[in-house]
Structure 1
Amino acid sequence: MGSGRRNLKNAAVALLSPIPSIIFYLSLLNHCQRISSTASDGDHSLSLSPLWAWCYYHPLLLANVLFFVNVNVLFWVISHIQSSHWMIDLYWTVIPVMLVHYYATHPLAQYNWWRSKIAISLTWVWGVRLSHNYFRREKWQWGAREDWRFTDMRLQYGKHWWWVSFFAVYVSQQVFLIGVCLPLYVIHSVDEPLNIWDFVAIIACLCGIVVAFSADTQLHDFVSRNQKLKELGKPFVANLDEGLWRYSRHPNYFGEQLWWWGLVIFAWNLGQGWTFIGSFINTMCLAYVTKLVEEWMLKQDYRAEAYRLYQKTTSVWIPWFKSSIGGKDKKA
């Protein structure tokens, strides 16, 4: 019963947390709409107060301000009340969906209708896929645990974690999330007809979603089978080396990166190739995370030997054929 109450409480906290930003943005839209209906010179922004005028003219900066106040500050405070940073993981799946709708509905937005609808639809599919994987992994519980990397950092920084976490968990996430979503801003800032590169971007994004979903499903099935074997007292498989995992040690990471770089193709096609910086930073961060994950795998005695062989024979990210050891192809 206690677990059920905690689950409901965490669900309520998660659902209510973004409301301040939503209310503020809806207020901006309401002000713009009301003034637009009464303005005769066509530039209704001239009648806005300084605060609303600033929000009107600086959509990207406003997104950063709302993120800082509502996520960095509010989520950080909540995390200390709950002694867990679980919520930022969940909102990784939600914030890009919120951002794409924000960029599409901002009063200054201009875009090709089809490209916008495609980007919004793809982002929703990506978000649903990642949310499903999150809740499936957490056994359909809200806030059951925080990311193991945050737990390790909590132990590492000790009494300083209360303030270090603000930068390590939240400010850093703002850089990553706003950065990787820059192409969604570009898509809703440039009105150009669709061309062949848009279809290349669509294919890349869809392939990334399919690869990530397949890899996560294969990993979930593997973990579930091992859990059942453990409960029955039977020996379990030390390492996943089937499906996509036979050709890549981290196919889920590869799929995720393919998705974000697919969005970059949209922006590059619209003459805003500089937005690759967000995906580049995210890729570098994921490379470091990959290193941490592999170190963690090697610390587990029961799978260390199998994983070392797996490292020698299997590509890190990009799916590829296995390498041979001693002239023979061996499974890890």
Structure 2
Amino acid sequence: MAVNIRKAVIAFLVPLPSILFYLSFLGQFRDHPSITAAVSGNSLSPLWIWCYQHPLLLANALFFLNVNLLFWIIGLLQSSHWMIDLYWTVIPLLLLHFFATHPLAECNLLRSRLVIFLTWIWSIRLTHNYFRRENWQWGAREDWRFTDMQRQYGKNWWWVSFFAVYLSQQVFLMGISMPLYVVHSKNKEFDIWDVVAALICLAGIIIAYYADTQLHTFVSRNNELKRLGQPMVLILDKGLWQYSRHPNYVGEQLWWWGLFTFAWNLDFGWSFIGALINSMCLAYVTVLVERRMLEQEYRADAYRQYQKTTSVWIPWFKTTYSGGKDKKI
């Protein structure tokens, strides 16, 4: 209990340096009736002027100092890099409010409020799933991929982790969050494409929620069966999982591509790069997850059959496998 409380306190305190710095920055402009006059005159320090003129660079600088360096140091001290997994569900939300409140922000108010609402729902869903999966514990474990990499790199892991766990996350999270910046950098009339984008985002949130809930129920049931000494259910192939082997990833993909649709409608088509990289990373994670499933001897045969009958990502009707031929059922 004491360890859980200590980790909760650390998690709440660790983002405060960047939050307080940014609030101090915003406070400089509350004291000046004219932002333009404050920037062009000598009433602001060079630091605040730079923060005003370079919102993206400022966001990256705060990310590097507060997340990459501070999270990394705390992770080394705790011998566990659990915080980045938790904050993955919060950092896009923090970036969103940074972009929305920056003095250079320009946006359609309805579009901005819609994106803020949807991002809050996404963040709450993902944070809830994190704590539900971890039995409502703070930092009970780190991502299994980090644990595998630690075994791989051994005594070099202390410095490799800075690049593999944190610096890579900055590139990744800043990339996929770019549509949140785009929405607050151009004022264009709200139109039908904003509705389409919102529906894609909402569909992604709903699909991911139900997929993760079904997975949680499956894992919880197997844990109870194991405790009772009874045979476990080998494969989750019910609900959304009968149409896709990774419906939770499908939902997450829809969310980020829905955000990109907002940016595309604002003529920032280049921001697709973040969503594309995210899709490529999830494709790689899919390979790792399936390889891990096949390494579990007790369910390997059942999972191979599941692979033959169920789509990897795109939901589709289940098939039967017989003599190397698949047929619809």
TM (normalized to structure 2)? 0.97
Could you tell me which of 213, 217, 230 is aligned with 1:234? 230
Provide Cα deviations, 1:270-326, integer angstroms capped at 9, x if missing partner.
000101111111111111111000000000011100000111111111111123312
Could you tell me which of 45, 61, 65 is aligned with 2:61? 65
Is the 2:68–2:162 contact (alpha carbons within 8 Å) kept by the matching residues of 1? yes
Is the 2:321–2:327 contact (alpha carbons within 8 Å) kept by the matching residues of 1? yes
Shift of 1:329: 6.0
Could you tell me which of 296, 306, 317 is aligned with 1:321? 317
Q: What SS does structure 2 have at the residue aligned with 1:44?
A: helix
Aligned runs of 1:1-332 on 2, under 5 Å? 4-34=1-31, 36-37=32-33, 39=34, 42-46=36-40, 47-326=43-322
CA–CA distance in structure 1, aligned partners of residues 133 and 328 of structure 2: 30
CA–CA distance in structure 1, aligned partners of residues 16 and 145 of structure 2: 28
Provide closer, same or farther for how the CA distance between residues 42 and 164 of structure 1 changes in structure 2, counting only shifts above 3 A.
Answer: closer
Provide Cα deviations, 1:9-33, integer angstroms capped at 9, x if missing partner.
0000000000000011011101122
Is the 1:32–1:48 contact (alpha carbons within 8 Å) kept by the matching residues of 2? no
Provide Cα deviations, 1:50-97, integer angstroms capped at 9, x if missing partner.
111110011111100000000000000000000001000000111111
Aligned Cα root-mean-square deviation (Å): 1.3
CA–CA distance in structure 2, aligned partners of residues 313 and 249 of structure 1: 10
Is the 1:183–1:263 contact (alpha carbons within 8 Å) kept by the matching residues of 2? yes
Shift of 1:49: 1.4
Aligned length: 325
Instruction: Give structure 1 regions of 4+ aligned residues with deviation exceeding 4 angstroms.
Output: 327-331
Is the 1:297–1:307 contact (alpha carbons within 8 Å) kept by the matching residues of 2? yes
Letter in 1 for 2:187: D
Shift of 1:328: 6.9
Shift of 1:44: 1.9
Letter in 1 for 2:138: W
Letter in 1 for 2:2: R
Provide Cα deviations, 1:163-206, integer angstroms capped at 9, x if missing partner.
10000000111111111100000000000111110011000000
CA–CA distance in structure 2, aligned partners of residues 220 and 107 of structure 1: 42
CA–CA distance in structure 1, aligned partners of residues 297 and 224 of structure 2: 20
CA–CA distance in structure 1, aligned partners of residues 171 and 53 of structure 2: 21
Letter in 1 for 2:19: I
Q: What SS does structure 2 have at the residue aligned with 1:193?
A: coil
CA–CA distance in structure 2, aligned partners of residues 73 and 157 of structure 1: 20
Structure 1 unaligned residues grouped into runs of 5+: none
Provide Cα deviations, 1:236-268, integer angstroms capped at 9, x if missing partner.
110100000000000000100100000000000
